């Protein structure tokens, strides 16, 4: 009986000794389960760990300019009802339209020496350049306010004349041939009266007498460069 008790005690000591952790080792504590994923702060990239920025002040959007707003320093036109507006600076030109009550006008862009005011009507004009883009009314029938003293004074194209409007710098030759001398080079926005074409319709004759610049000069341009405005059909045939 005593021998059996001693044997059992020896086995118990041996079993417990085999389950002991090595000296100096502490068992890891069991982690309690959690339902959320926590990221230690030390593992977050510094760029992502910055403080939440303070809310910025809300700035109201700038309203879009209205269709009737005028640029700073513009020459503004006030016009009563019943004023006729023309396609060229003359009462003999084609009527563009007649103003109504409370008409809101675009700013003036040019004037002539004989009392006309020109403005851009704001319509599509793909081929028109220079003064041909403007519409005209008589200065005596309107009131001008604002920056009107600096309006350029131009020579407006007269009515009833067929003009060529130059879209690119172009050489005007003394004859209907590229081998002839160049009498003048005209720039974008210049214009000249169109007198007619050669019998084979390869060249056109122009006059600068009613053109821009105005001078007593005639010459020839390649008909491929024509860009006309006015009563231009039919064009007469002219001999070189």
Domain ranges of the chain: 76-146, 163-229
pLDDT at position 181 over 50? yes
Q: Looking at residue 72, what is its pLDDT?
A: 60
- As a whole number of angstroms, the distance between CA 80 and CA 97 comes to 13
Contact 211, 173 (CB under 8 A): no
Q: What is the pLDDT of residue 202?
A: 97
d(CA 81, CA 71): 24
Quote the tokens at residue 196. 């007619």
Q: Are 100 and 81 in contact (CB under 8 A)?
A: yes
Other C-beta atoms lying within 10 Å of the C-beta of residue 173: 18
pLDDT score, position 71: 58
How far is it, in rounded angstroms, from Cα 130 to Cα 163?
A: 12
CA 101 to each of CA 36, 87, 144, 147: distance values in angstroms, whole numbers, following the listed order: 73, 21, 17, 24
In degrees and rounded to multiples of 5, residue 146 shows phi and psi of 95, -150
Q: What is the pLDDT of residues 44-93, one digit of tens each?
A: 333 333 343 444 443 334 333 334 445 568 999 999 999 999 999 999 99
Is pLDDT larger for residue 41 or for residue 191? 191
Tell me the pTM.
Answer: 0.67
- Cβ–Cβ < 8 Å for 202, 176: yes
Q: Is residue 205 a contact partner of residue 196, using CB atoms and an 8 Å limit?
A: yes
pLDDT tens string 119-165: 999 999 989 999 999 999 999 999 999 999 999 999 899 999 999 99
Which fold is adopted by the domain 163-229?
Answer: SH3 type barrels. (2.30.30)
The string of pLDDT tens digits covering residues 154-180 is: 989 999 999 999 999 999 999 999 999
């Amino acid at each position: 009986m005593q021998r059996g008790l001693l044997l059992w005690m020896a086995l118990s000591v041996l079993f417990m000794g085999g389950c002991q952790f090595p000296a100096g080792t502490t068992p890891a504590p069991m982690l309690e389960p959690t339902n959320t994923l926590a990221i230690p702060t030390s593992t977050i990239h510094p760029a992502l760990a910055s403080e939440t920025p303070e809310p910025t002040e809300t700035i109201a959007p700038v309203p879009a300019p209205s269709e009737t707003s005028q640029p700073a320093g513009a020459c503004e036109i006030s016009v009563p009802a019943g004023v006729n507006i023309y396609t060229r600076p003359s009462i003999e030109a084609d009527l563009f339209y007649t103003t109504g009550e409370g008409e809101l006008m675009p700013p003036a862009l040019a004037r002539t020496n004989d009392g006309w005011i020109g403005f851009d009507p704001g319509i599509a004009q793909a081929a028109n350049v220079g003064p041909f883009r403007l519409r005209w009314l008589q200065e005596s029938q309107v009131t001008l306010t604002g920056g009107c003293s600096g309006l350029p004074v131009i020579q407006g194209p007269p009515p009833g004349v067929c003009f060529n409007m130059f879209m690119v710098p172009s050489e005007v030759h003394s004859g209907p041939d590229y081998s002839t001398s160049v009498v003048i080079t005209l720039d974008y926005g210049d214009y000249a009266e169109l007198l007619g074409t050669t019998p084979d319709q390869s060249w056109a004759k122009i006059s600068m007498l009613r053109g821009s610049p105005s001078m007593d000069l005639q010459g020839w341009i390649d008909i491929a460069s024509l860009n006309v405005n006015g009563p231009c059909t039919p064009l007469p045939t002219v001999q070189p």
